[in-house]
Amino acid sequence: MKLYLSSYYFGNHPEDFSNLIGENKNVAIIMNATDARPIDMHAAYLEREVAKMANLGLKADELDLKDYFNNNDSLKTKLKEYGAVWVMGGNVFLLRRAMKQSGFDKLIIDILKDDSIVYGGFSAGGCVTGETLHGIELVDNPNDIADKYDSKIIWDGLGLIDFSIVPHYKSDHKESAEVEKVIDYYKAHNIPYKTLSDGDAIVISE
């Protein structure tokens, strides 16, 4: 299983992400954590990420999980085209809904087992990989919703790692002060966690 979990965008060593990827340099950019934001922000956000990927020798395009809601078999076929997924930040609860409704949550676990794909992500894209989303509601609104989404809140993470990630720790980020509340919650509930400052990333290759 190969994971690249960053606090903010690629962090200080983006080559660590590209070095995990094998011969297939196609990357799927997943932006569903931002689906509740104004649509005019979307194109510029995507264009910047595609350009960053190109600088790393990677070819990227968007994979919108909404296109696969209730069509999980098609997503399984689509994911075979990529050597990595890059899961963007935003609202972790919205992202988790998208992963469930598309079947991505189960598919990615199976694909990661045979090392045919790399999972990369930052902020919400990293937080969702833990075992629980409890505590993150202190920063992200769990009731944020967008068109086509189920309203039920999903509190289970993907379970790819056995700890929770706290991004933007002591960083120049608008959520840095709020994440201290998340740390207090994890301590109070004995939830294992790791903090990441902006620029930091956790690389797992096993």
Looking at the chain, the whole-number percentage of residues with pLDDT higher than 70 is 100
Report whether pLDDT(44) > 90.
no
Give the integer Cα–Cα distance in Å for 67 and 113.
25
Q: What is the pLDDT of residue 73?
A: 82
Q: Which two tokens stand for residue 177?
A: 């002060």
CB 110 within 8 A of CB 100: no
The pTM (predicted TM-score) of the whole model is 0.95
With CA atoms as reference, report the closest residue to 87 among 113, 65, 71, 58. 65
Residue 57, CA distances (Å) to 13, 23, 52 in order: 14, 11, 9
Q: What is the pLDDT of residue 124?
A: 96
Confidence band for 121, pLDDT divided at 50, 70 and 90: very high
Give the integer Cα–Cα distance in Å for 121 and 134.
19
Question: What distance lies between CA 174 and its chain's CA centroid?
Answer: 19
For the chain, the domains span 2-205
For domain 2-205, give the fold. Answer: Rossmann fold (3.40.50)
Report whether pLDDT(38) > 80.
no
Q: What is the pLDDT of residue 97?
A: 97
Residue burial 114-143, b: 16+ Cβ < 10 Å; e: rest = eeebbbbbbbbbbbbbbbebbbbbebbebe
Q: What is the pLDDT of residue 3?
A: 97
Q: What is the pLDDT of residue 37?
A: 80
Report whether pLDDT(165) > 80.
yes
Report whether pLDDT(40) > 80.
no
- When pLDDT is averaged across residues 163-184 and rounded to a whole number, the result is 88
38 or 160: which leads in pLDDT: 160
Residue-averaged pLDDT of the chain? 93
Confidence band for 39, pLDDT divided at 50, 70 and 90: confident
- When pLDDT is averaged across residues 47-57 and rounded to a whole number, the result is 94
Confidence band for 16, pLDDT divided at 50, 70 and 90: very high
